[in-house]
Structure 1
Amino acid sequence: MTSQELDIAFKNAVNSINDHTEPFPADVLLRLYAYYKRATNDADTIRGGNPHISAFKTNALFQTRGLTTDEAKQLYIEAVNQYFLYRK
């Protein structure tokens, strides 16, 4: 997959998550959060006032350290595809 194809697939995956109206399981949300933050080079900022939620987000980011932007995009796409595949 070319870089441009990866970017398009990533944007489509993000849009499918944003358009989904049902709640997501917490583990799925945390995984997607961490991959998204790594994919967009925004892993240095954690938003949220609840310290417990911030701790879970920090842990999720810690588990994805070392991923490149492209690896994070690919893993995000795969996680989204897997989530929607199992929901059918």
Structure 2
Amino acid sequence: MSFELQNAFEQAQQEVQGLSEKPRNDVLLKLYALYKQGTVGDVTGERPGGFDFVGSAKYDAWASLRGLSREEAQREYVNLVETLKARR
């Protein structure tokens, strides 16, 4: 993993916290999934069940990225944050 990508990813994590407007839920799920794939890799464990709607949505979003490399997930995360910043 390149040092530059890692720095950009860490910077994007900080910048997303400072967005003037909270992103829609679907965008938040995408950010969550890309972050997890970029830091942990493929989803592990069992999908939350029952009435854990938030947990299930997060798991499904992350699972949808299965097989995506950590580097590519970090690039996509950085690009998504840049897009959100441009919308301010």
TM-score (norm 1): 0.82
1:30 aligns with 2:22: no
Q: How does 1:1-16 map to 2 (within 5 A)?
A: 3-16=2-15
Q: Which residue of 2 aligns with 1:76?
A: 77
Q: Give the CA deviation at 1:21.
A: 5.2
RMSD over aligned Cα, in angstroms?
A: 2.3
Aligned residues: 84
Q: Which residue of 1 aligns with 2:63?
A: 62
**In proportion to residue count, which structure has more helix?**
1
For 1:82 and 1:20, the matched residues in 2 are separated by: 11
Question: What SS does structure 2 have at the residue aligned with 1:23?
Answer: coil
* Gap runs ≥5 in structure 1: none
Q: Give the CA deviation at 1:83.
A: 1.4
1:53 aligns with 2:34: no
Of the structure 1 ranges 68-77 and 37-46, higher mean CA displacement relative to structure 2 is found in 37-46
* Gap runs ≥5 in structure 2: none
